[in-house]
Amino acid sequence: MTTHVLIVGLGLIGGSLALAIQKNPEVNVIGFDADSHTVRKAKKLGVIDDMAFNLEESAALADVIIFATPVNATIQLMNEVQNWQLKKGVILSDTGSTKKMIMEKAKSLKEIGLTFIGGHPMAGSHKSGIEAAKAHLFENAYYIITPVEHEDEIQIRTLEAILQPTKGKILRINAREHDHMTAVVSHFPHLVAASLVHQLSSENEEYPFTRQLAAGGFRDITRIASSNPIMWRDITIQNRLELVKQLDNWQSEMDTVKTMLMEAKSENIEHYFTRAKFVRDELPITSQGAMYSVFDLHIDVPDYPGVISEVTGLLAKHLISITNLRIVETREDVFGILVISFQTTEDRERAAISIQQETTYETYIS
């Protein structure tokens, strides 16, 4: 029996989700997007099985509906869906980065007999749009689902089965816990990264060369500040209470650091950095976390003509794809002159092994 899944929003996440769940031959993917050109392109690229141009009519055919839209748009759709004619037992879900507001709205849907199970695939890419969609985008990434309390277990397992071909690590977490944890490891770091870039900008006015020096480690630790400003505007507003708590904790931590600096006790300062190094080094590097990751490999190569083509040629020989490559000029706080980014940890591992076996260059994973 065919299960009809309607995906609303055919960007990177919606398109990748469509490609992944298509692996199940018993699933038929219907795609809708506010931009009809995107729908046609998704069909042409094989991202979806069927095109939808009237959302309400297509929703009536679906067994599962997934809103792969920004949270504000999803909440608006949740308001509209109450007036749609849907199949009995239809399952609604989403892919939003914050869950509390959505799951509050889900309670009102449950009161009228609709099942809404929140979802958040914790994966992304430096690219966007339907053209960037990949069936493997969610592999080994956490895929959080947030059912309302006392949700029908059969419905939850049905959604989990639909999501199984993503090869994501499906976990059940309540909305409050989700928003708190993502505030700690994703949303707040984005604010910090943005604030560091703002600080650099003000410094750059008086010391213009600062910008050139920022091309090394500073650029790496603030990479996330390049994320979509509109998306992060919405996330920041929706999760602002958790972010305020994190900001309070951060300011307390900075007060501790300030006191430590004023006292200038070498053993305390060394302990502070030692503790930070230990905790950071214990973080897992073999799976994706809450933030989009680029899997960087630092390679300590000599500076002579042809060395870059030598390395990239070696990777090509082993059919290892790369997403980015750059030479680091400011290397005081990074390892290696050449930094290559990969799509997956597996590609990075294969690249490191190939380079170590066939060259004398040292490689580092930061």
Phi and psi (nearest 5°) for 317? -60, -35
- The pLDDT of residue 330 is 46
Residue 232 vs residue 127, higher pLDDT: 232
**Structural domains of the chain ordered from first start:** 3-173 (3.40.50.720), 178-264 (1.10.3660.10), 295-364 (3.30.70.330)
- What is the rounded distance in angstroms from the CA atom of residue 210 to the CA atom of residue 204? 6
Task: Identify the weakest region by mean pLDDT among 182-196, 222-236, 243-257.
Answer: 222-236
Host H or E run for residue 359: none
Mean pLDDT of the chain: 88
pLDDT in tens, 261-298: 999 999 999 999 999 999 988 877 655 555 556 678 88
User: CB–CB of 331/337 below 8 Å?
Assistant: yes
- What is the rounded distance in angstroms from the CA atom of residue 244 to the CA atom of residue 305? 51
- The pLDDT of residue 46 is 95
pLDDT in tens, 27-39: 999 999 999 999 9
pLDDT in tens, 303-359: 678 888 888 888 898 999 888 887 765 444 445 578 888 877 788 889 989 888 888
pLDDT in tens, 104-155: 999 999 999 999 999 999 887 666 789 989 888 888 788 999 999 999 999 9
CA dihedral (52, 58, 62, 67) in degrees, to 10, reads 70
Host H or E run for residue 267: helix 266-281
pTM, two decimals, is 0.76
Host H or E run for residue 196: helix 188-206
